[in-house]
Amino acid sequence: MSRTVAILIARLIFAAVFAMAASFKFAGMEATANYIAAAGFPFPLLLAWLAAIFEIALVLAFLTGAFFSEAALLAAIYVIFLAFAFHGPSHWQASQDEFGFFVDHFTFLAGLLFAAVHGPGKRLALCYGFIWRDETVPAN
């Protein structure tokens, strides 16, 4: 029972983090686009919308358990991309805080990789996916 509770709490935390990120983007899409443009990326408004939609897809995967491992791996790639693109070594000179933000992304990466390998658990999970499927979980 404690394992199930821990897994469900972890899934809720992952979902909440990406839900907050998406809500901030939707609430200030132009500000997000400006931040993306300042990092030197082309088509910043398009990228801001794509990021927000991607984050909503991650929320759905973490809440439902569908394609959970795939979502966790994609989220891990996304988180590391964000770490280097927006808080990487080129940003450390301007602000020491950027190094802390950079390192925090690796902590999140570790959790996402652990989740990807171990899956969504056997309770309250749709268990659809292509990789690391637990064959002991009955298909829905």
In a domain, 70, yes or no: yes
In a domain, 137, yes or no: no
CA 43, chain centre distance (Å): 22
In a domain, 98, yes or no: yes
Q: 108: domain range?
A: 2-118
In a domain, 75, yes or no: yes
pLDDT tens profile 63-121: 998 899 999 999 999 999 999 999 888 878 878 888 888 889 999 999 999 999 888 88
* CA angle in degrees (0–180, nearest 5) for 107-111-116: 145
pLDDT tens profile 12-70: 999 999 999 999 999 999 999 999 999 899 999 999 999 999 999 999 999 998 899 99
In a domain, 100, yes or no: yes
Total domains in the fold of the chain: 1
User: Model pTM?
Assistant: 0.85
CA dist 131 → 13, 37, 45, 71, 80 (Å): 22, 35, 33, 11, 21
Would you state the pLDDT for residue 130? 65
